[in-house]
Structure 1
Amino acid sequence: MENWKLSHTTKCYSCGKVADQIIEIYPNQALVKCINCNATRYYVIKKADIEDENSLKEEVGVKRKYDNWVLQKDIDCARCGHFGPQDILITENGIYVRCRHCGFTRYYRYHIHDPVGGK
């Protein structure tokens, strides 16, 4: 699996400003960093399994303090190798990445928040 980098403009969990959030996803961890305040949320891999699409739909429907971010990236699947959309769901509790072709899903659990981004 290659490393992914995405951007999503939304209200920052930390500073509350609307700004680009840089999302980096790696095989064993992920992070979300605000370009305005540099606050960084770190996530670690908890599980990788085949899941049906209902599991992601259920998570999207859960009401939380902060909005869920629903994203997509066209890329080769780490399991089946099929090039196509990977659904990405980012919540305050975790990050889900799911291949629409084979259902391979990685769940990254929220680990730690660095409010100043390592400064």
Structure 2
Amino acid sequence: MWGIQHFGDFMEKWELKKLAVCFNCKKEADQIIEIYTNQAFVKCSNCGATRYYILRRVGIEDESIIEDEKNKKHKYEPWFLEKTAVCFNCKKEATQDIAITETKMIVRCRNCGFTRVYQFHILDIPENK
């Protein structure tokens, strides 16, 4: 499918899990979230349906970018997660706020405001065999 490109050692792969009802199989299952420097994936551990997101913009944003997503109406329930990690920008260990919706994924450092916005790109739903 899509090859993962690494830009040096800028960021290790982040892997998170969220127990949620899958949009495809409608079963409650771990949704595996992988975040890389230039792309991200959300894959259902039950049926394998995978949403692909690609990096669209980076910059310094205030916390309203996450709050705005909390206040928007969404087709599917958005997820708001946190991960403690070394920031790509400020190089300090800090909480990274992560918002995942049906159209985008946002990762923002609470320390310096460095933000990566990934846009939904493609959906892969494996055929049942």
Provide TM-score, normalisation by structure 2.
0.88
- Alignment counterpart, residue 48 of structure 1, candidates 40, 58, 70: 58
Larger Rg: 2
Query: In the TM superposition, what is the alpha-carbon distance from 1:10 to its structure 2 partner?
Result: 0.5
Question: Are 2:49 and 1:35 equivalent residues in the alignment?
Answer: no
Structure 2 gap ranges (5+): 1-10
Q: Given residue 65 of structure 1, which amino acid in structure 2 is its aligned partner? A: K
Structure 1 gap ranges (5+): none
Query: In the TM superposition, what is the alpha-carbon distance from 1:9 to its structure 2 partner?
Result: 0.3
SS in structure 2 at match of 1:60? helix
RMSD value over aligned CA atoms? 1.2
- Deviation digits for residues 61-87 of structure 1 (CA, Å, limit 9, x no counterpart): 111110000000000001001101000
Structure with larger RCO (C-alpha < 8 A, sep 6+): 1
Q: Percent identity?
A: 52
How many pairs are equivalent?
Answer: 118
Question: Are 2:67 and 1:57 equivalent residues in the alignment?
Answer: yes
Q: Distance in 1 between matches of 2:21 and 2:72?
A: 19
SS in structure 2 at match of 1:67? coil
SS in structure 2 at match of 1:59? helix
